Amino acid sequence: MGKGLITLRDYSRKEIEEILSLARVMARDQRTGTDIAKGKILAALFFEPSTRTRLSFETAMLRLGGKVIGFSSSEGTSVGKGETLADTVRTVSQYADLLVIRHPREGAAQLAAEFSSLPVINAGDGSGNHPTQTLLDLYTMIDHLKDLEGKEIALVGDLRYGRTTHSLAPALALFGVKLILVSPQELRIKNEIKVELDKHGVKLRETEDITEALDADVLYITRIQKERFPDAAEYAKVAGSYRIDRQLLGKRTPLIMHPLPRVDEIAADVDDLVTAVYFEQAGNGVPVRMALIVRALGLGG
């Protein structure tokens, strides 16, 4: 049996690079498609809405010649009737060859892996992990910057509740980058993650001021959610001060990334810059997830 992916926390840089190089092979022939997963079924269990992650997993499986079953919200399923995750997972394991799970609670993918006889890929669990997003983020950065060693990466926005940066920051630490963590006071990165970053000995500085990060090699922008603030006025003030537009960037050309969806945090006038790569980044989700499926199904690639 192949290997699932619950978290990248116990992965070495070498293991991550192996997945990324398999993804590069997948990228080469993703448009023509292959049939190496012919006859295989991927079960996509999305207990929480998702657009990019779900669609790119489906696309990845279809490009590999396999089929997809699943649901995209718990409404109308046995989960809505009160079934436990453990039971859902044991049932679906009887049908498919691989499970992909997105769940609103932290640790759900880990639990699924314990109860499933199939490999499990974590497509996001609560504010915990989002390892497939991290891999496509790394893939995109390496594509543009070649070597990440010594590069300055600024993570901007909600660093407290967003699972994207929880996953990305520790993985980046393996690649010898310098981190700038830019967020309002109330959305600073959790202590748990900082402990991890310290363990890796990564150079990092924290600031509330976006202008201190504009000279970084990468600006990785995340959405600041309204519901994190006690009142609308406070939210508007904070969100506004982290907005990236052409005027703010001036002549600087950092790589601009975003896990999407964006709301106002990147102005539309930034989209035309060649260094604004967020749609390409989302596109990279397909070859990366193809690689993860191939690996999970033990297809060798």
Partner 1 sequence: MEQMKINRIRQGTVIDHIGAGKALAVFHLLGLKNDQTTSVTMAIRVPSRRMRIKDILKIENRYLDPTETAMIALIAPQATINIITNYTLEKKERVKLPTHLEGLLRCENPNCITTALREPVQGKFTVIGDSPLRIQCDYCLTIIATEEVERLFLRKI
Stretch that binds partner 1, among 20-28, 71-79, 125-133, 284-292 (CB under 8 A): 125-133
Question: Rule CB under 8 A: which of 192-231 touch partner 1?
Answer: 192, 195
Q: Are 80 and 105 in contact (CB under 8 A)?
A: no
Which is nearer to partner 1, 147 or 227 (by Cβ)? 227
Q: Residues near 216 by Cβ (< 8 Å), separated by ≥ 6?
A: 152, 153, 154, 180, 254
Minimum CB separation of residue 9 from partner 1 in Å reads 8
Q: Which region, judged by CB under 8 A, interacts with partner 1, from 16-24, 97-105, 233-241, 282-290?
A: 97-105
**163-178 b/e (C-beta count within 10 Å ≥ 16 → b):** bbbbbbbbbbbbbbbb
Q: Does residue 107 interact with partner 1 by CB under 8 A?
A: yes
Min dist. Cβ of residue 125 to partner 1 (A): 8
- Give min distance, CB of 167 to partner 1, in A: 11
- End-to-end CA distance of the chain: give it in Å, rounded: 14
Out of 3, 25, 65, 106, point to the residue binding partner 1 (CB under 8 A).
Answer: 106
Tell me how crowded residue 23 is: count the other CB atoms within 10 A of its CB: 26
For residue 69, the cross-strand partners are 43
Contacting partner 1 within 62-91 (CB under 8 A): 82, 84-86
The helix (H) or strand (E) run that includes residue 85 is: helix 85-92
Using CB under 8 A, list all residues that contact partner 1. 9, 82, 84-86, 103-108, 110-111, 114, 125-128, 191-192, 195
